[in-house]
Chains A and B, each alone.
Chain A
Amino acid sequence: MGKEESTIEGEEGLLALFMQEQDAPELKERMQSKLAATERYLRQAGLGLDQVLSAAGERSAPGRAREYAGCPEERSTLLWRRTLRSGQRISCRGNVVVLGDVNPGAEVVARGDILVLGTLRGVAHAGAMGNSRAIVAAFRLQPMQLRIGRLISRPPEGESPPGLPEVARVRSGKVVIEGYLPRGERHGADGSG
């Protein structure tokens, strides 16, 4: 199986890669063979196929995706390689990285951090199990609503975002949005997350 298709990799926890040209049944089939090949490793990681698939957008109807699936533990990351469109939702026990936009009406939920390499216009909930140290970062942060831990916030009305990468985090009980400073990111360094 080539890199163009789907791979499961990652040393700590699990990283699932969904390539763009695949539909769910095909993905399921490929995942099945992949999973069979790495069964012992996956058992340790506590991941089943249904969990992987519940992260595949359309498959997870809002009601059914309540258990955070996709990646088995909090330190792992789900990489989503396409734009998340209205009505689609991904959720993950670890972090989520979206290579694309998150459009209005779409939802990303992670117990860890959320990183959008594109424009975040939908709803993002980082630290979904109450971790208020989680962050949401995006190339352009224009969310409908931001939730971090137990806090819910709306962007201030009438203010146009700067068009630069920004990070949202909780500071003294409030969600604040700051410009992203490549060298000033101390979040990981102080042992949180």
Chain B
Amino acid sequence: MKTTNLIAVLAADARPTKPVGRSLVIAGLSGGIVAGLLFVALVGVRADLLAALANPRVVFKFLFTAVTAMAALAVAARVSCPDRAGPPIGVLLAPLLLLGAATGLDMAVTPRSSWAQAAIGISPLACLTMIVVTSLLPAFCLLWAARAGAPRHPAKAGAAAGLAGGAVGAGIFSFYCPNDSTLFVALWYGFGMVLTTGLAALVGRRFLRW
């Protein structure tokens, strides 16, 4: 094929093109909505959901997962562009600082003797599993959208998509989870998101190559 012919073919495929960042946001939102509906239909929400929303610890779970999802999406959009230097790690400091401050505050108002119990909560391994499972669909949608990207490091793009998906999954799980201690959130929600991030990094390394 002559290059001029190739150009003619490519031009014939012109079409309005969405920025990759917007595709990622759409994927995160739609994957999150479908996963949320499935979750409510299959698992349900906590019985005391309305009353619990008055508890700042519960509100924090939603706030923290939302901030993490937005920060991870920003990173994913950025590492998907080949002309950008490394990921803007600074953005990820926002959820980390938020989590650190809230955990410190919670520990300060909780007697030292109940820290261990707060950290372990009720069935932490079930929570961990549910967070990872709930994250699968949003993470998959995000990885799919990330295929429109041209990342210098496919594993990093996968990791960012996985962190966003993990945060969305953890946010959905917060409608159900009866463990409200911030210490619990930091440990088990954090662990769940780290697992999703690692898994998506492994997938991205192959799947997002271009």
Q: Tell me whether A and B are bound partners.
A: no
B interface residues (Cβ-Cβ under 8 A, vs A): none
A interface residues (Cβ-Cβ under 8 A, vs B): none
